[in-house]
Amino acid sequence: MIDPWLLERLACPVTRQPLLYDEAAGELVSDAAGLAYPIRDGVPVLLVEEARPLTSR
């Protein structure tokens, strides 16, 4: 679970748009960039090279 306070402050490093929390997948999703950033051990990894492309959402 991501702290709601932190989630409000996080943004996609590519588009600077807010991120959506996908709890089931354990990812932060940027629809604007078409990327999903992993959350590892409770820490968001906001590196483009670590993100996976979204196939469809």
Dihedral sign for Cα 53, 41, 7, 21, please.
Answer: positive
Q: What is the CATH number of the domain that holds 20?
A: 2.20.25.10
Instruction: Report pLDDT for 56.
Output: 59
The residue that leads in pLDDT, 24 or 57, is 24
Residue 51's CB: how many other CB atoms inside 10 A? 22
* pLDDT-based confidence at residue 1 (cuts at 50, 70, 90): confident
Print the domain residue range for 25.
Answer: 4-53
Residue with token string 């629809």: 31
| 57 pLDDT more than 70 | no
Residue with token string 């820490």: 43
Give the pLDDT confidence of 3-52 residue by residue, as tens digits: 999 999 999 999 999 999 999 999 999 999 999 999 999 999 999 999 99
Report DSSP state, residue 49. G
Q: How many domains in the chain?
A: 1
Residue with token string 């306070």: 5
The pTM of this model reads 0.90
